[in-house]
Amino acid sequence: MDLVEIRKKAKVRQQDKRDSEKPVSEPVADQVDQPPVDEPPVAEPPPIEPDEEPMQEDAVAGEEVKVADEPFIEDPVATEPEQQEPVENDPLDALFAFTVDGGLATEANYLQALTNDDDSVDQDVQQWLTFALANEEYALTIDSVSEIIKPREVTDIPRVPDFIKGIISLRGIIVPVFDLNRRLNLDQTEVSSSSRIIVCQNNERLAGFIVDRINQVVNVPLANIEPPPTVLSGLDRDFVEGVGRVDGKMLILLHLSSVMDAELV
């Protein structure tokens, strides 16, 4: 046999042997290109607000619990109301303390405070406004008092008695002003910060009386009012309605119509 043929056959056998030893691989399925799927964007967590309440993990339930800052409130302690002693109202305090709702007290409102309790006054008792003149205590019936004002500038008028200081205008009404010390022939005193003008009305007539000081309003039982003393005569007797006794003190009760009558001199 030709040597060349022998070599060819040997190569063919070796090749067949190698081919038989190779593992048979299964056919690979053709890969199908799948279109790309768009995934939804992942949302970012919302930012934490600066005023958001802090979160605290509950030790029992294992849940997050919002802790709210609550103000500490003390339990009210029950206290017994203080027992106040009954205060006895002084009519004069009501005279100067009285105010009108929504505004300050005016001169026209003073006497309203005094007349609020008229129904509680006994019919056998009279109310008198007491005041000082030359260190003596006098009184005018409260029913005749219209108002009390501070001293003010008066306008002089000619040819009048010396006890008439002049006139003032009170809400458009002309009111003559009397110096009550002069009118009653008492010692003269200077007008001071405690002086007041008592405006009185008798029927249709008005007059103001300058006094040294306002004292108080007193209740005088009719049984405690005595007629003018017999030692008084003439003009002095005409000016005095009587003498009242209150708490051991004597009050000279003036007769208003006679005091206002300028012709009685």
User: Where is 13: in which H helix or E strand?
Assistant: helix 3-21
**In the CATH scheme, what architecture does the domain 91-260 have?**
Beta Barrel (2.40)
> Does position 237 have pLDDT exceeding 70, yes or no?
yes
Residue 223, classed as helix, strand or coil, is helix
Assign 104 a pLDDT band (cuts: 50, 70, 90).
very low
Task: Tell me what the pLDDT averaged over the chain comes to.
Answer: 73
Would you state the pLDDT for residue 12?
74
Assign 199 a pLDDT band (cuts: 50, 70, 90).
very high
User: Where is 169: in which H helix or E strand?
Assistant: strand 164-170
Q: pTM to 2 decimals?
A: 0.56
Are 64 and 56 in contact by the 8 Å Cβ rule? The answer is yes
Higher pLDDT pick, 220 / 42: 220
Q: Please name which of 116, 142, 120, 146 lies closest in space to residue 129, comparing C-alpha atoms.
A: 142
Assign 63 a pLDDT band (cuts: 50, 70, 90).
very low
Find which of 90-99, 115-124, 207-216 is predicted with most confidence, using mean pLDDT.
207-216
> Does position 178 have pLDDT exceeding 80, yes or no?
yes
Find which of 82-86, 113-117, 247-251 is predicted with most confidence, using mean pLDDT.
247-251
pLDDT digits (tens, 9 = 90+) for 144-163: 999 999 999 999 999 999 99
Higher pLDDT pick, 21 / 95: 21
